[in-house]
Amino acid sequence: AQTVTQSQPEMSVQEAETVTLSCTYDTSESDYYLFWYKQPPSRQMILVIRQEAYKQQNATENRFSVNFQKAAKSFSLKISDSQLGDAAMYFCAYRSASNAGNMLTFGGGTRLMVKP
């Protein structure tokens, strides 16, 4: 079974600075997807960014980018120019490309605080 680990329960960053959230995963599969979800106080789950394992190029979405290290099974999220609205819980998630159940396996989450 796949597992996803987020080793940082909480992180803080100064507004306008850059922060990196860590995620490692364990799988024996070669084809899969990785995701970062944001959960603000409203509790809504918001997809921030996704990465296909077969792509070597790291995904980017505006101020959000990932560092995908397939051999190391590492998938970190970098937030540049942090804003107060970035304060939230962030979840790393894994999905097998062959999973007919479309199940996402989540890490335990990292709470990000942004200081003004």
Partner 1 sequence: EAQVTQNPRYLITVTGKKLTVTCSQNMNHEYMSWYRQDPGLGLRQIYYSMNVEVTDKGDVPEGYKVSRKEKRNFPLILESPSPNQTSLYFCASSSHGAAGYHEQYFGPGTRLTVT
Residues that bind partner 1 (CB under 8 A): 4, 6, 9, 33, 42-45, 47, 50, 52, 91, 93, 97-104, 106-109
Residue with tokens 């051999």: 71
Q: Which is nearer to partner 1, 71 or 100 (CB)?
A: 100
In sequence order, what DSSP letters do the residues of 34-61 get, joined into one string?
EEEEEE-TT---EEEEEEETT--SPPEE
CB of 73 to partner 1, least distance (A): 17
Q: Which is nearer to partner 1, 82 or 107 (CB)?
A: 107
Q: Which is nearer to partner 1, 39 or 80 (CB)?
A: 39
CB of 45 to partner 1, least distance (A): 4
- Nearest-CA neighbor of 70 among 54, 87, 49, 94? 54
CB of 116 to partner 1, least distance (A): 26
Cβ atoms 115, 12 nearer than 8 A: yes
Single-letter code of the amino acid located at 96: S
Cβ atoms 5, 106 nearer than 8 A: no
CB of 81 to partner 1, least distance (A): 26
